[in-house]
Structure 1
Amino acid sequence: MKNDPIRIGINPISWSNDDLPSLGGETPLSTALSEGKAIGYEGFELGNKFPKDPAALRELMAGYDLDVVSGWYSGRVAGRAATEEIVAVETHLRLLAENGCKVMVYGEVADAIQGEPHPLYKRPRFRSADAWKRYGDNLTEFAKFTLSRGVRLAYHHHMGAYVESPDDVDQLMAHTGDEVGLLFDSGHTYFGGGDPLTVLNKHIARICHVHCKDVRPGVVRMARNRHWTFLESVLNGAFTVPGDGCIDFAGIVDRLKAHGYKGWLVVEAEQDPSVAPSYEFAEKGYNTLRSLLDGVPVREVA
């Protein structure tokens, strides 16, 4: 609900995957928006099918009575100066700011292998304290700029990138200022080797955005043992929606509520819609989170 401190949104990846267009690429954006609205979601994060013009985006979303939650930005602060990144982000930042977004999802793609045919263990790493300091200083400078436009940087720790494991998240938080917010992603936390509730508790003061994805632990183990790429892991079903895996979302929601978190819970679960039908799984994710926020038993989908 619009006046609730915690609201539920969704990412269009449940319908079509930007990184793997073969997964739902034929599904029109109108299907995702109409079905998401019918299920009960209040807003969507952006994907490649959304308008890039602020006014056109505002008009589109108003037609469905949906809010723009945020949008992924592929940043390269690890490879260039903050001043260069500030120039690069201008158009996207304006799109978000003019549509009422309070956070920007920042994904570090410099040297990342999340879309490459390489096993996850070959991901990039900062291997010294000096490297972490340089990165943190650069990122903080960039985050100060986005905050000056009313949009806080929400750093997305991600498989196949510089910041993947709980130790990486610790280093990131230690080497950046408060201007850098943390996007807590339950699924990437688990896949990255951490206990989601432990990581949430440790960094809750910096968390400004939440991605809710569940995991299938057996698939995650195979992904690690068989040296799968990130996209192979997705195709094989490593991720799913809240309530369909092993993550303790009741504990996560309770902790966020107790802390006074104000913001979005975003269902974001990369899956093959031919295996995990979009509407069915989006509804399951919504019902799980709604029931936990309301403190009522989960309503089973017929």
Structure 2
Amino acid sequence: MKNDPIRIGINPISWSNDDLPSLGGEIPLSTALTEGKAIGYEGFELGNKFPRDPVELRDLMAGYGLDVVSGWYSGRVAERSAKEEIVAVEKHLRLLAENGCQVMVYGEVAHAIQGEPVPLYKRPRFRTADDWKRYGENITEFAKFTLSHGVRLAYHHHMGAYVESPDDVDQLMAHTGDEVGLLFDSGHTYFGGGDPVAVLDRHIARICHVHCKDVRPGVVRLARNRHWTFLESVLNGAFTVPGDGVIDFAAIIDRLKTHGYRGWLVVEAEQDPTVAPSYRYAKKGYDTLRSLLDREMIGEVA
């Protein structure tokens, strides 16, 4: 498995939610790791229940036979300098680098409303070409620093943040250097108003990490029409695991393999575990991706 160019990991959000700790807050980390390993996942992204000491984290994961895939970093380059961000990231970057991570999930949280009781349409925006230029230069400088430590920045476009829509992603890619990788998130792409396969095709050369989440289109429409917050959208079931919605993961995996993608597919679907039982949905997501990868491999051999 470890020699496969594409590996399947999972985010612990299936068991407990960092943005809304009441979701799965009572589920211990050991349950997530044990169940994830039993399902077949090779690694986990980090969440708030993981240790933050590099050695302690490495020992914990080794005990389960799991790898550390990556970990979310809450960046604020939109409101401070790259130099300030470099100082702020030091401990997190060391945690990832010393645990063999190739990428760092970067989420821009300056002025973001993803955890706030504010409708999504009130998210922050860069209004001018100069805004994008300045932001792109700062992100690129920051990304050069993380890459110098062997960890590529994987920029996570996200609902409620500056970079949400496909147009935002286009602007980000146009104003940043190749040091800035793109984290392609299928669910956020759809919710943000885009066709996931089209966005993937447009930026596939920059994609260095992939979050696989499916969507329930009816809920997404309600979220937009009723001006829900991001967390209201999550609680009402906007997202789900691959194979439980409408996103064409067969096409996504085909495109990634054709382009020679080498990295992780991470199942990451914010849901309430009392409504969407963690093990059942985590297994559905894994089985969907595994069957598609295996089907592609059989096709190549034939």
Matches within 5 A, 1:1-302: 1-295=1-295
Distance 1:112 1:22 in 2: 21
Distance 2:20 2:157 in 1: 20
Distance 2:287 2:121 in 1: 35
Distance 2:66 2:227 in 1: 40
Distance 1:178 1:15 in 2: 34
Q: SS of the residue aligned with 2:172? A: helix
Distance 1:208 1:47 in 2: 20
**For residue 130 of structure 1, what is the amino acid of its counterpart?**
D
- Deviations along 1:197-255, one digit per CA (max 9) or x if unpaired, are 00000000000000000000000000000000000000000000000000000000011
Distance 1:73 1:119 in 2: 24
Structure 1 runs not aligned, ≥5 long: 297-302
**For residue 7 of structure 1, what is the amino acid of its counterpart?**
R
Distance 1:135 1:36 in 2: 37
Q: SS of the residue aligned with 1:209? A: strand
Q: SS of the residue aligned with 1:264? A: strand
Instruction: Give the CA RMSD over aligned residues.
Output: 0.5
Identity %: 88
- Deviations along 1:11-30, one digit per CA (max 9) or x if unpaired, are 00000001111110000000
**For residue 122 of structure 1, what is the amino acid of its counterpart?**
K
**TM-score w.r.t. length of structure 2:** 0.98
Distance 1:3 1:34 in 2: 23
Runs of 4+ in 1 over 6 A off after TM superposition: none
Distance 1:19 1:204 in 2: 28
Distance 2:242 2:256 in 1: 16
Q: SS of the residue aligned with 1:295? A: helix
**For residue 278 of structure 2, what is the amino acid of its counterpart?**
S
**TM-score w.r.t. length of structure 1:** 0.98
Structure 1 position 263, deviation (Å): 0.0
Distance 2:277 2:257 in 1: 30
Structure 2 runs not aligned, ≥5 long: 297-302
Distance 1:206 1:232 in 2: 31
- Deviations along 1:17-55, one digit per CA (max 9) or x if unpaired, are 011111100000000000000000000000000000000
- How many aligned positions are there? 296
**For residue 8 of structure 1, what is the amino acid of its counterpart?**
I
Structure 1 position 118, deviation (Å): 0.3
